[in-house]
């Protein structure tokens, strides 16, 4: 990826503040956390797969370090598997996250302006181990998530290295896709999609709740594709191999892939590998938010 734009000012770094820091106590009403692609991976690893969508999903990782091949950059959390301390001489992870978040802000500010609306930028919280969110406790073991109650994305920077090892979602664009997917949930929240889905889920059985959750996740994949399309058009962020990285990351965390095909489709909560890659590609190729209606498509 080519990331030479300014970093977002909406990164809140809680690393080193201790578990459950950040000044957000307890759970808040209307705060069902929405999990991203990392949640699927670590739900399986932690034997938590199949939990109700209302159960919180937490944490993530994005630390960039270039590989010899220019078309693929992996992420290295630093010596001993630990992300560099905040404010360190070369906090590459924070810089990368800030630049990607900045790119999402530029894209979605423009997209909302076209809709005659104002885009309210989310805050992205970096934490290590555990912290508090407006949706309850955030744990690194369960992956990145978006909390509608406080409009924040929560990521543990050590998550990306774990994700790469477990599902092979390598490259800097794969990491950017994770961030863009979670920001996609914020876009859904601003557009009223998440509140509508949560009301429908409250009146549905478990199978219907799962189906609705899949549609939410696939739409976030499509919105991540729109971000990549628009950012590349405006600033040429994509390099050779980036699209393949994104498609591979989307497919690698499909419900069927991460469980070896051992679960029933009706129990899926994030969508199959084919579905996830297809909707990401749809957004990437169209760049049109109208093409992301997963509830009809």
Closest C-alpha to 105, from 25, 208, 179: 179
Model confidence band, residue 274 (pLDDT cutoffs 50, 70, 90): confident
Between 20-29, 46-55, 208-217, 223-232, the lowest mean confidence (pLDDT) is in 46-55
pLDDT, tens digit, 9 for 90 and up, residues 104-134: 999 999 999 999 999 999 999 999 889 999 9
User: What span, in angstroms and rounded, lies between the C-alpha atoms of 47 and 57?
Assistant: 13
Contact 66, 73 (CB under 8 A): yes
Which of 43-47, 94-98, 163-167, 272-276 is least confident?
43-47
Is the pTM of the predicted complex or chain greater than 0.85? no
User: What whole-number distance in Å separates Cα of residue 107 and Cα of residue 103?
Assistant: 6
Average pLDDT over residues 280-291: 94
Torsion of CA 286, 250, 190, 226, to 10 degrees: -20
Quote the CA–CA distance of 198 and 185 in Å, as a whole number: 13
Q: How confident is the model at residue 42 (pLDDT cuts 50, 70, 90)?
A: very low
Name the β-bridge partners of 130: 139
Task: Name the percent of the chain lying above pLDDT 70.
Answer: 64
At residue 51, the pLDDT reads 33
**Nearest to residue 28, comparing CAs of 189, 137, 139, 156?**
137
Query: What are the residue ranges of helices labelled H in 132-241?
Result: 159-167, 172-190, 193-202, 206-235
């Amino acid at each position: 990826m080519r990331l030479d734009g300014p970093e977002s000012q909406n990164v809140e770094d809680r690393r080193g503040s201790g578990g459950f820091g950040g000044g957000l106590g307890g759970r808040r009403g209307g705060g069902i956390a929405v999990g991203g692609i990392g949640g699927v991976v670590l739900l399986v690893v932690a034997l938590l797969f199949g939990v109700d969508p209302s159960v919180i999903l937490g944490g993530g990782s994005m630390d960039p370090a270039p590989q010899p091949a220019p078309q693929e950059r992996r992420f290295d959390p630093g010596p001993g598997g630990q992300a560099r301390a905040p404010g360190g001489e070369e906090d590459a992870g924070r810089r990368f996250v800030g630049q990607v978040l900045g790119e999402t802000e530029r894209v979605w500010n423009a997209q909302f302006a076209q809709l005659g609306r104002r885009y309210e930028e989310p805050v992205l919280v970096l934490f290590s181990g555990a912290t508090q969110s407006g949706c309850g406790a955030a744990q690194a073991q369960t992956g990145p998530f978006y909390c509608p109650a406080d409009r924040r994305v929560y990521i543990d920077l050590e998550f990306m290295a774990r994700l790469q090892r477990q599902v092979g979602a390598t490259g800097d664009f794969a990491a950017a896709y994770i961030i863009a997917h979670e920001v996609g949930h914020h876009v859904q929240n601003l557009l009223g999609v998440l509140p509508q889905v949560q009301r429908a889920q409250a009146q549905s059985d478990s199978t219907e709740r799962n189906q609705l959750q899949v549609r939410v996740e696939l739409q976030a994949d499509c919105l991540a594709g729109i971000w990549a399309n628009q950012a590349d058009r405006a600033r040429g962020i994509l390099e050779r191999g980036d699209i393949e990285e994104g498609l591979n990351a989307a497919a690698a965390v499909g419900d069927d892939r991460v469980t070896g095909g051992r679960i029933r489709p009706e129990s899926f909560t994030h969508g199959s590998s084919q579905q996830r890659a297809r909707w990401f590609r749809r957004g990437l190729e169209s760049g049109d938010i109208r093409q992301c209606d997963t509830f009809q498509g």
